[in-house]
């Protein structure tokens, strides 16, 4: 009886051991071997070759355009608007007549003062002839001369007052929106219309004090404005402010630009770049190729391996094996950027292919397939507030 139980126990132990070995050792080893032989599908990515570009270092800033000459045309004296000789937005030459205020009272006073002056001149002439004959004293002549000079001054005063009521442009420029009408009474100093000189034009922009050593008088500048995307305007540095702002630690710099076509207007927002140094050759890649991280910036570089025997590419009438593509992650030192290109100072050579999209699917030595039929397109620029 004991022998039978012993044999049964041995058989049960052998069965359970076999089941355990199959489930815990043989089966996992078989699955591991199968999985290791089945390669994951190649990840589809887009890629471009790193190029080279002549690069000039730039000190970048944001500035505001300003008119070199810009005023609010206003009368020196009050009066009723009799006539205006312009329309809003007109370009006018220097000394062009803009507004005429009513001068009827002043002209009447001028006529009266001229009559007084005429009488004073005649009286002075008579007294001068009489003093030669010693019929009157020199004191009478002096009194008459004083009256003549007073009358002449009154005439000049009225002429000056009439001239003040004929308002002209002090310099050539473009007028803004008209802010008065015929028959309107305007006080001294009331704004009538803007007058802005547009060519040339200033650009004022702040520069951090750490970059001041890179700038010099006459250094070339380039700027872009949102009103004309893709168009570059060029000028040069004209002046530096006399002190650094204590709250921002920046120095205000002023540049001058030609504006013959009057595209640039005072008050426009502009992206400014001051060129410093000579052009140098740098390796560039698209911005989307760089993965920025806390421990360093990196790019995925495409590596060509031995061709896979089951995959071929037809070239003419000869079947050529297609190379197996994998990726290698490289840490790089990123340089300046411009547009959709960024300079790579270390880590990538010109001509090497870099992955520009699909990086989240990659790991070192991962197989890839390049498909540039649907490249990434930059998002539309958001309007500036």
Q: Identify the pLDDT of residue 205.
A: 93
Structure tokens that stand for 62 in this block: 């944001």
Q: Which of 275, 302, 319 is the last residue of a domain?
A: 275
Tell me, yes or no, whether 360 lies in a domain.
yes
Same domain, 365 and 291: yes
> Does 256 have pLDDT greater than 90?
yes
Q: Identify the pLDDT of residue 136.
A: 60
Q: How far apart are the C-alpha atoms of 134 and 132, rounded to whole Å?
A: 5
Same domain, 47 and 64: no
Q: Identify the pLDDT of residue 128.
A: 66
Q: How far apart are the C-alpha atoms of 62 and 204, rounded to whole Å?
A: 9
Asked whether 235 and 203 are in contact (CB, 8 A), the reply is: yes
Among 61, 50, 44, residue whose Cα is nearest residue 221: 61
Structure tokens that stand for 58 in this block: 């730039």
Tokens 């001239």: give the residue.
163
Tell me, yes or no, whether 14 lies in a domain.
no
Q: Identify the pLDDT of residue 54.
A: 79
Confidence of residue 361 (pLDDT cuts 50, 70, 90): confident
Tell me, yes or no, whether 184 lies in a domain.
no
pLDDT, tens digit, for every residue of 56-69? 778 889 999 999 98
Domain that holds residue 268: 59-68+198-275
Q: Which residue has the higher pLDDT, 132 or 359?
A: 359
> Does 166 have pLDDT greater than 50?
yes
Tell me, yes or no, whether 330 lies in a domain.
yes
Confidence of residue 252 (pLDDT cuts 50, 70, 90): very high
Q: Which of 256, 275, 294 is the last residue of a domain?
A: 275
For residue 191, give every residue at least 6 positions away whose Cβ sits within 8 Å of its Cβ, in sequence order, or none. 72, 73, 74, 179
> Does 306 have pLDDT greater than 90?
no
CATH for 138: 1.10.287.470
Same domain, 205 and 256: yes
For residue 378, give every residue at least 6 positions away whose Cβ sits within 8 Å of its Cβ, in sequence order, or none. 340
Asked whether 223 and 233 are in contact (CB, 8 A), the reply is: yes
CATH for 215: 2.40.30.170
Q: What is the mean pLDDT of residues 112-133?
A: 75
Q: What is the mean pLDDT of residues 91-100?
A: 89
Contacts 24+ apart (CB under 8 A), 140-147: 144/120, 147/120, 147/123
Q: Which of 240, 275, 310 is the last residue of a domain?
A: 275
> Does 251 have pLDDT greater than 50?
yes
Same domain, 295 and 360: yes
Q: Identify the pLDDT of residue 317.
A: 47
Same domain, 329 and 359: yes
* Torsional sign, CA 157, 163, 165, 170: negative
> Does 75 have pLDDT greater than 80?
yes
Contacts 24+ apart (CB under 8 A), 338-342: 338/55, 338/58, 340/286, 340/287, 340/288, 340/378, 341/53, 341/284, 341/285, 341/286, 341/287, 342/284, 342/285, 342/286, 342/287, 342/289, 342/290
Same domain, 252 and 290: no
Same domain, 263 and 287: no
Residue 134, exposed/middle/buried by CB under 10 A (0-12, 13-18, 19+)?
A: exposed
Same domain, 271 and 304: no
- The dihedral over CA atoms of 365, 370, 372, 373, expressed in degrees to the nearest 10, equals -140
Tell me, yes or no, whether 381 lies in a domain.
no
Same domain, 64 and 202: yes
Whether pTM exceeds 0.85: no
Confidence of residue 385 (pLDDT cuts 50, 70, 90): very low
Instruction: Report H helices in the chain.
Output: 2-21, 27-37, 104-132, 138-164
What DSSP assignment string belongs to 272-313? EEEE-S--EEEEEEEGGG-B--TT-EEEEEEEEEEEEEEEEE
Q: Identify the pLDDT of residue 123.
A: 74
Q: How far apart are the C-alpha atoms of 316 and 334, rounded to whole Å?
A: 41
CATH for 324: 2.40.420.20
Q: What is the mean pLDDT of residues 188-206?
A: 90
Q: How far apart are the C-alpha atoms of 68 and 202, rounded to whole Å?
A: 6
CA distance to 41, 163, 180, per residue, from 38 (Å): 9, 97, 84
% of the chain with per-residue pLDDT over 70: 84
Q: What is the mean pLDDT of residues 123-136?
A: 66
Tell me, yes or no, whether 335 lies in a domain.
yes
> Does 254 have pLDDT greater than 90?
yes
% of the chain with per-residue pLDDT over 90: 14
For residue 201, give every residue at least 6 positions away whose Cβ sits within 8 Å of its Cβ, in sequence order, or none. 65, 66, 67, 68, 256, 257, 259, 264, 266
Tell me, yes or no, whether 227 lies in a domain.
yes
> Interior CA angle at 321 toward 319 and 325, to 5°?
145
> Does 307 have pLDDT greater than 50?
yes
Asked whether 259 and 30 are in contact (CB, 8 A), the reply is: no
Same domain, 141 and 219: no
Q: Identify the pLDDT of residue 109.
A: 84
Mean predicted lDDT score pLDDT of the chain = 82
Same domain, 291 and 356: yes
Q: Which residues are 271's β-sheet partners?
A: 62, 224
Tell me, yes or no, whether 10 lies in a domain.
no
> Does 244 have pLDDT greater than 60?
yes
> Does 202 have pLDDT greater than 90?
yes
The count of structural domains within the chain is 3
CA distance to 36, 224, 287, 291, 357, per residue, from 377 (Å): 38, 22, 12, 17, 11
pLDDT, tens digit, for every residue of 132-146? 666 666 766 667 777
Q: Which residue has the higher pLDDT, 333 or 37?
A: 333
Q: How far apart are the C-alpha atoms of 244 and 253, rounded to whole Å?
A: 10
């Amino acid at each position: 009886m004991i022998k039978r139980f012993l044999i049964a126990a041995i058989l049960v132990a052998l069965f359970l051991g076999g089941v355990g070995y199959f489930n815990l050792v043989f089966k996992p080893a078989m699955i591991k071997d199968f999985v290791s032989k089945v390669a994951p599908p190649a990840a589809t990515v887009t890629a471009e070759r790193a190029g080279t570009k002549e690069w000039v270092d730039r000190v970048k800033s944001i500035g505001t355009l300003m008119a070199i000459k810009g005023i609010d045309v206003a009368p020196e004296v009050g009066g009723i608007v009799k006539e205006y000789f312009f329309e809003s937005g007109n370009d006018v030459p220097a000394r062009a007549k803009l507004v005429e205020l009513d001068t009827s009272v002043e002209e009447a006073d001028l006529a009266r003062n001229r009559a007084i002056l005429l009488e004073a001149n005649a009286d002075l002439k008579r007294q001068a002839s009489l003093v030669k004959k010693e019929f009157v004293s020199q004191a009478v002549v002096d009194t008459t001369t004083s009256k003549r000079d007073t009358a002449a001054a009154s005439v000049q005063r009225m002429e000056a007052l009439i001239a003040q009521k004929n308002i002209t442009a002090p310099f050539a420029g473009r007028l803004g929106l008209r802010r008065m009408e015929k028959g309107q009474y305007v006080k001294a100093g009331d704004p009538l219309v803007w007058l802005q000189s547009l060519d040339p034009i200033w650009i004022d922009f702040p520069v951090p004090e750490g970059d001041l050593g890179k700038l010099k008088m006459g250094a070339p500048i380039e700027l872009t404005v949102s009103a004309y995307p893709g168009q570059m305007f060029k000028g040069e540095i004209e002046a530096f402010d006399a002190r650094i702002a204590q709250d921002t630690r920046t120095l205000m710099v002023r540049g001058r630009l030609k504006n013959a076509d009057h595209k640039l207007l005072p008050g426009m927002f502009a992206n400014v770049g001051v060129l410093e140094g000579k052009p140098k050759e740098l390796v560039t890649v698209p911005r989307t190729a760089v993965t920025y991280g806390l421990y360093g910036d990196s790019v995925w570089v495409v590596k060509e391996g031995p061709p896979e025997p089951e995959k071929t590419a037809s070239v003419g009438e000869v079947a050529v094996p297609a190379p197996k593509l994998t990726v290698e992650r490289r840490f790089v030192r990123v340089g300046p950027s411009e547009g959709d290109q960024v300079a790579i100072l270390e880590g990538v050579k010109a001509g090497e292919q870099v992955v520009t999209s699909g990086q989240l699917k990659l790991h070192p030595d991962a197989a890839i397939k390049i498909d540039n039929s649907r490249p990434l397109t930059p998002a539309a620029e958001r309007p500036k507030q």
